[in-house]
Structure 1
Amino acid sequence: MTGPLSMTRAGAGEPLLLLHGWGSSRRDFAAVLPLLTERFDVLDVDLPGVGRSPALEERPTVAAISDAVERTLDGEGVGRVHVLGNSLGARVAIELARRGRASSVVAIGPSGLNVPPERVVQGSGMALARVVMRAGAPLVGPLSRSAVGRAALLAPLKARPWSTSPDEAIGAREGFADSRDYWRTLLWALLVDVPRGLDRIECPVTLVQGVADWISSGQTVRYLPLVPGSRFVPLVWAGHAPQSDRPRTIVRLVEETARRAGVPTAAAPVTAPPRRSGTSTGTARSTSPR
């Protein structure tokens, strides 16, 4: 069984889990992280095979990835969590909600409901991005230092790529060029995944998609009739990974969706352990499998 995933934890309040998309890393939340840690105890996780997170020994389906995320939460002594996810991370967030592990979910451009022609386009684009990013990996560091370079690297994912941080550009390299088990995850977690049991979701779910998101196509809104009580919010001037396109709007949506849950942290089935010195003031600590 695969060990816990690599993550950072910072802030104080109700627990909030951040799940990035495939082709990125936990760095993709750099623009919203400082704002979120003012309100939440934020767990920012690298998905399996990214950063220092081990690749899965089993087939990397959405269910298997969700299992790994749950084991990581268990290891941190955290029960139910609010979740902010993007793309594949949003799909995993919805799976956690189906399992009853999520208190609330903000799902940005979740995968899973695209039709076969859209899957072909998405798969081809992801394959090309992998090849190009691996070939150009040595250039990512220098390019990340300028707004023009970051715009060139992140234009397919962001509506305002010049406004991104160097961390986000490095995150794209970690996700596309450096990730392990890229092809199996692309196949099993993205291209052949079909969500089931969405009618069992009971927590508040806000579905979000940037109007400049060509990667998700029209699949985000397709969740709306399948997830009870869910809401759909389109984001103007936002792309597929809009965390730096509209950071304050995304933070507001997380806060509003969490308030709709109305579930105090004390109701979680697992009690979080006492925080070590320095972790409740917003200072991040990083945990990685040994």
Structure 2
Amino acid sequence: MPALHHVRRGSGEPLVLVHGIGSQWRIWEPVMDRLAQERDVIAIDLPGFGRSPHDGTGPSVPDQAERVRAFFGELGLERPHVAGNSMGGGIALELARMGAVASATAVSPVGFWTPRERTFAQTSLQVSRRLLPLLGPVLPSLLRSPVGRTALLGQLVARPWRMDGEAAIEHLELLVGAPAFDACCEAFDDYTFHDAHQLDDVPVTVAWGDRDLLLLYRQAARARHVMPRARHVTLPGCGHAPFSDDPALLAGVLLESSAPVADVTAL
């Protein structure tokens, strides 16, 4: 099986970062250097996204989690910390269910939706993916403009003007070209988070931007109800993909949730 493309920085406790559907490792770039000051940070491209080839991994969230667990073994990682956004958040929670991680942080995770909310998210992503190619050669110039980024990325990012223009171009190009996108998006039909008690032995943090317009912020209350033993954090002023909205806030949440036991005791 081909290796997953990944980028590794820093030293310390290993922390694996998992992106959402249609994204890639670079979405974590605004927080990676801060994390790398205290963690051995490993940001991956899931199979069929970014630079990782489609390797036959199934499209469901549990299937993707199994592939990430196999990746841990390929790198010799024994129960690293993991953080994921959106689909990656669901993957992080499934890895916690497997007992494969020391802690799990899920940022706006899939799985806490109603059927109508799930269909809204799927349709929004699918329509965007189909319409973006119609913009053709004007897309890069639009994304280099704060106004253009706001128009095109406002559903995902609360403060699109803070996002790097070249990073935005790459993000949307990879969204359009990701070979695993359609199957993973359709597989959401069968995924709802369940059996929270199976995660009781793993420290879990759920963080949600209060300006999330894709997996609407009201789903955070549902997550609190379903996972009462988890730590729940609101990210004020942040959207669904909060990386450039408030990098310092997000990095702080990730560092606290992935702190070794001795560090937590000292807090």
TM-score (norm 2): 0.90
Structure 2 counterparts to residues 266-285 of structure 1, below 5 A: none
Shift of 1:139: 3.9
Amino acid at match of 2:110: S
Q: Which residue of 2 aligns with 1:62?
A: 61
Unaligned 5+ runs, structure 2: none
Equivalent position of 1:230 in the other structure: 230
Render the CA deviation track for 1:108-136: whole Å, top value 9, x for unaligned: 11001211111121121111011012333
Q: Distance in 2 between matches of 1:83 and 1:6?
A: 16
Correspondences of 1:32-181 after superposition (within 5 Å): 32-136=31-135, 138-181=137-180
State the SS of the aligned residue for 2:150: helix
- Give distance in 2, aligned partners of 1:53 and 1:139: 28
Q: CA, structure 1 residues 53+138, in 2 after alignment: closer, same or farther (shift >3 Å)?
A: farther
2:231 alignment partner AA: R
Selected match of 1:197 from 192, 195, 200: 195
- Indicate how the Cα distance of structure 1 residues 55 and 220 shifts in structure 2: closer, same or farther if over 3 A, else same: farther
Structure scoring higher RCO (CA < 8 A, sep ≥ 6) equals: 1
- Tell me the SS of whatever aligns to 1:30: helix
Deviations 1:137-189 (A, max 9, x none): 6444333433333333321111110001135413432442010022111011x
- 1:111, 1:219 within 8 Å by CA — same for their partners in 2? no
CA contact (8 A) 1:51 1:174 kept: no
Matched residue count:
261
Structure 1 55/83 Cα, relative in aligned 2: closer, same or farther at 3 Å? same
- Residues 230, 51 of structure 1: alpha-carbon distance in 2 compared, 3 angstrom cutoff: same
Following superposition, the deviation at residue 199 of structure 1 comes to 1.0
TM-aligned CA deviation for residue 48 of structure 1:
1.7
Cα distance in structure 1, aligned partners of 2:185 and 2:15: 26
After TM superposition, the score normalised by the length of structure 1 is 0.83
Matched residue type, 2:219: Q
Q: Shift of residue 55 of structure 1?
A: 1.8
- 1:249 aligns to what? 249
